[in-house]
Chains A and B, each alone.
Chain A
Amino acid sequence: MATKSRTLPLNKRGMNFETLMWLFTRLSALAMYLFMLVAIIGALIMGARNQMNLTDVLRWAFTPNYTHVQSTNVPDLDPWATPFWKVVASLFVFTAAAHGLHGVLSVLDDYFAQLRVRLFFRILIAIILPIMWVIGIYVIWTS
C-alpha cells in the first residue's frame, strides 16, 4: 500500500514555543544519554571495574556527583570530585530539571483543558524551574 509521507514540509509546520519544547524534550534526552555515556566511561577509567557494582555505576551515571560513590569501595574520592565532574553534573541537573518540569506540564495539559488553568501552570513551572536549577547546582558545588 503506497502511503504519502505524513510529515509536512518545514515551511508549512507551525513553529511555535510548544513545537520548540517538543523538540527540546527529544534533544535533551539525547544530551542526557551523552552525559551518562561520559560518566560511565569516566567511571570505568577511574577504576569502577573493580571497585563498584552495576547499581553504583548507574547511580554515578545518572548524576556524576562524588557523594554518589561514597558508599563504594573506591579508595580515593579526589578524582571523582574534580571541577570537570561538577560541570557535567551541573549540566545534567540543568537539562534534567528543564526536561522533567516540562514533562510535568505536558502531563497536566492532558488533564486540565481550560486555557487559564494551563497559563497558571506555565507560570508556576516557570517560577519553580529556576529555583530548582539554583538549588541543584548549589548542592553539587558545595556538598
Chain B
Amino acid sequence: MARERNVGVIQGLRYRGGGPQTAWLLHRISGLGIVIFVTTHILASFLGGDLGQFINDVYESWWFQIFVIFCALFHGINGLRITILDLWPKLFEFDREAIWIEWAVFLPVFGLAVIVILNTALGG
C-alpha cells in the first residue's frame, strides 16, 4: 500500500501507459458509473413518486441507456480479463494481447446494443 506519493496531477496526466492504462481508467469510470446508476435505480424503485418517475425517465432515454450499457459491458469484459489474469498469473505475460481480445469482444457487442437502442428510440 503506497501511502506516500510524489506524483502530481500534471505528471499523472503526462503518463503514457498505453492500452493497460486506458483499460484501468475506463474500468474505474465505468465502475463508478455502475455504482451511481444502481444506487439511484434502486432508490428510485424504493421511493417512487415524482422523484422516482423523474429518475426512471432519465434511465429510459437513449443516451443514458448507451452510457449504462457501455459501463456494464466494459466493466464486465475488462473485469473478466483481470480475473483470469489474476487467478492464473502466468498468463499476465500476455496482458496486452488480452486487451486486444477484450476490445474485439467488446466493440461488436456494444455496437450491436447501440444500434438496437437507437433503432428502438429513434426509428420506432
In angstroms, Cα B75 to Cα A96, docked, is 12
Q: Does B16 contact A (CB under 8 A)?
A: no
Most buried by A among B5, B28, B45, B116: B45
* CB-based A-B contact count at 8 angstroms: 64
In the complex, whether A50 has a CB less than 8 A from a CB of chain B is no
| Complex CA distance for A55 and B73, rounded to whole angstroms | 11
Residue A135 interfacial (CB < 8 Å): yes
Return A21 CB to nearest CB of chain B, in Å: 13
Contact call B83/A55, Cβ cutoff below 8 A = no
Chain B 1-36 interface 0/1 with A at a Cβ cutoff of 8 Å (1 = within): 101110000000000000000000000100110110
Q: Check A55–B116 contact: CB distance below 8 A.
A: yes
Are the C-beta atoms of A55 and B79 separated by less than 8 Å? no
> Who on chain A is nearest to B115 by CB?
A54
Number of interface residues of B (CB under 8 A): 32
In the bound complex, do residue A29 and residue B79 qualify as a contact, i.e. CB atoms below 8 Å apart?
Answer: yes
Q: How far is the CB of B115 from chain A (nearest CB, A)?
A: 9
Instruction: Give, as a whole number of angstroms, the nearest-CB distance from A15 to chain B.
Output: 15
The distance from the CB of B6 to the nearest CB of chain A, in whole angstroms, is 12
State the A residues within 8 Å of B (CB): 6-7, 18, 26, 29-30, 32-33, 53-55, 58, 62, 67, 93, 96-97, 100-101, 103-104, 107, 109, 113, 115, 132, 135-136, 138-139, 143
Beyond the given A29-B79, A30-B83, A67-B45, could you list 9 further A-B residue pairs with CB under 8 A, ordered by the A residue number?
A26-B86, A29-B76, A54-B113, A55-B69, A58-B73, A103-B31, A104-B32, A107-B28, A132-B39
Q: List 8 A-B contacts (CB under 8 A).
A: A30-B83, A32-B76, A53-B120, A54-B113, A97-B38, A100-B35, A100-B38, A135-B46
